């Protein structure tokens, strides 16, 4: 019998899942549309069947040790998805209870950014680290904080919402209802807003003047900057400046060994890493200077969300075995 974990990433559009072995190899993966079923029970029935089908396809000799789930508005303590604005199922969904009954193995859920941080520790570039932060840059800015070798969930299960620290109390409106949150500046949407602000304030010609807000993408801004477009370059500089200076506050909280940056915007490489590092250093108090690494994630591939989810199980089983010694 070969022991495997199942990692599930529930996104607004697709649910991806995979079967992962001890070494972090994804043996099988597939996906299904998240929002096809208005009733959660129908959705979970299809998902469970698809997982069972995947197991049969992969080998007749597999034993699942647990299932990890990354999902929006997930609560680790309660095993629920709660009032997720981007999902069709309303209210509180007891997904862990339902899946545990169906598979009879431990099921662990958390949000996707926490799962990314755990994935970094179990399979990625933070394998030897006990204190680090992962920043995920997608439509918004997510984060996971590890201290003393443990993911910080907080009292209520909502720790590490660094997308919503305040950059400027008189700044940009945020979807959360606040004003001036970090993710309104630093995210795929944030850098688009910055491009539009720069186009409004300045008179320089830019190849981005011909593109609508809806059509504009991180990839376009990156390619423009690489071709030397001054507005695109300034947008990256501004994004890195705000990210770096706010990360200095995060260092003063948990004194991490490294900060990993994951997701679309991080693929721009030095365009985003260079100003982030520069402005982080400029804002650190002396005891922290030249010590905190800002690194790309070690899980920059299609399977990252599956590995993140699956790592929740590995961590859970590691802890259980250390308690039983």
Any contact of residue 164 with its own copies (CB under 8 A)?
Answer: yes
Does the CA dihedral 245-248-253-256 come out positive or negative?
positive
Position among 79, 256, 263, 275 found at the interface with its own copies (CB under 8 A): 256
The count of C-alpha atoms lying within 13 angstroms of the C-alpha of 76, restricted to the half-sphere facing its C-beta, is: 20
Compare residues 88 and 152 and give the one whose CB is closer to its own copies.
152
* Conformation bin of residue 149: beta by default, left when phi > 0, alpha when psi is -120 to 50: left
- What mask of x and - would describe binding to its own copies in positions 124 to 163, judged by CB under 8 A? -----xxxx------------x-xx-x-xxxxxxxxxxx-
Any contact of residue 286 with its own copies (CB under 8 A)?
Answer: yes
Degrees to nearest 5, angle at CA 169 with 294 and 249 = 30
Any contact of residue 287 with its own copies (CB under 8 A)?
Answer: yes
Minimum distance of its own copies from residue 187's CB (angstroms): 15
Give the interface segment with its own copies, choosing from 3-11, 20-28, 30-38, 248-256 (CB under 8 A): 248-256
Q: Which residues contact 323 (CB under 8 A, 6 or more apart)?
A: none
Q: Give the separation between CA 232 and CA 20, rounded to whole angstroms.
A: 39
Position among 283, 298, 300, 317 found at the interface with its own copies (CB under 8 A): 283
Compare residues 88 and 248 and give the one whose CB is closer to its own copies.
248
> Phi and psi of 212, rounded to 5°?
-75, 160
Any contact of residue 255 with its own copies (CB under 8 A)?
Answer: yes
Any contact of residue 121 with its own copies (CB under 8 A)?
Answer: no
What is the distance, to the nearest Å, from the Cα of residue 262 to the centroid of all Cα atoms in its chain? 7
Q: Give the separation between CA 136 and CA 125, rounded to whole angstroms.
A: 15
Compare residues 127 and 219 and give the one whose CB is closer to its own copies.
127
- Please give the residue ranges that form the binding site for its own copies (CB under 8 A): 129-132, 145, 147-148, 150, 152-162, 164-166, 169, 176-178, 181, 245, 248-250, 252-257, 283, 285-288, 291
């Amino acid at each position: 019998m070969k022991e495997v974990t199942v990692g599930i990433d529930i996104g607004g559009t697709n649910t991806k899942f995979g079967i992962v072995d001890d070494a972090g190899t994804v043996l099988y993966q597939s996906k299904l549309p998240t929002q096809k079923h208005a009733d959660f029970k129908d959705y979970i029935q299809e998902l469970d069947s698809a997982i069972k089908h995947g197991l049969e396809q992969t080998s007749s000799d597999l034993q699942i040790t647990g299932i990890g789930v990354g999902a929006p508005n997930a609560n680790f303590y309660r095993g629920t998805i709660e009032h997720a604005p981007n999902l069709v199922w309303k209210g509180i969904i007891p997904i862990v209870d339902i899946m545990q009954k169906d598979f009879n193995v431990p099921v662990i859920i958390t949000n996707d950014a926490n799962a990314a941080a755990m994935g970094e520790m179990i399979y990625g570039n933070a394998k030897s680290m006990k204190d680090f932060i992962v920043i995920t840059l997608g439509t918004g800015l997510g984060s996971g904080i590890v201290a003393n070798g443990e993911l910080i969930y907080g009292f209520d299960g909502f720790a590490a919402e660094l997308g919503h620290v305040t950059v400027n109390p008189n700044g940009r409106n945020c979807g959360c209802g606040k004003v001036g949150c970090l993710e309104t500046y630093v995210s795929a949407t944030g850098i688009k807003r910055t491009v539009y602000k720069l186009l409004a304030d300045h008179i320089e010609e830019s190849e981005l003047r011909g593109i609508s807000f809806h059509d504009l993408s991180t990839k376009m801004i990156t390619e423009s900057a690489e071709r030397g477009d001054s507005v695109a370059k300034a947008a990256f500089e501004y994004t890195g400046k705000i990210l770096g200076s706010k990360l200095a506050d995060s260092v003063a909280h948990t004194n991490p060994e490294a900060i990993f940056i994951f997701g679309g915007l991080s693929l721009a490489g030095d365009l985003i890493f260079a100003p982030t590092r520069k402005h982080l250093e400029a804002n650190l108090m002396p005891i922290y200077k030249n010590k905190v690494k800002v690194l790309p994630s070690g899980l920059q591939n299609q399977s990252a969300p599956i590995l993140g989810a699956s790592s929740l199980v590995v961590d859970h089983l590691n802890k259980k075995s250390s308690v039983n010694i």
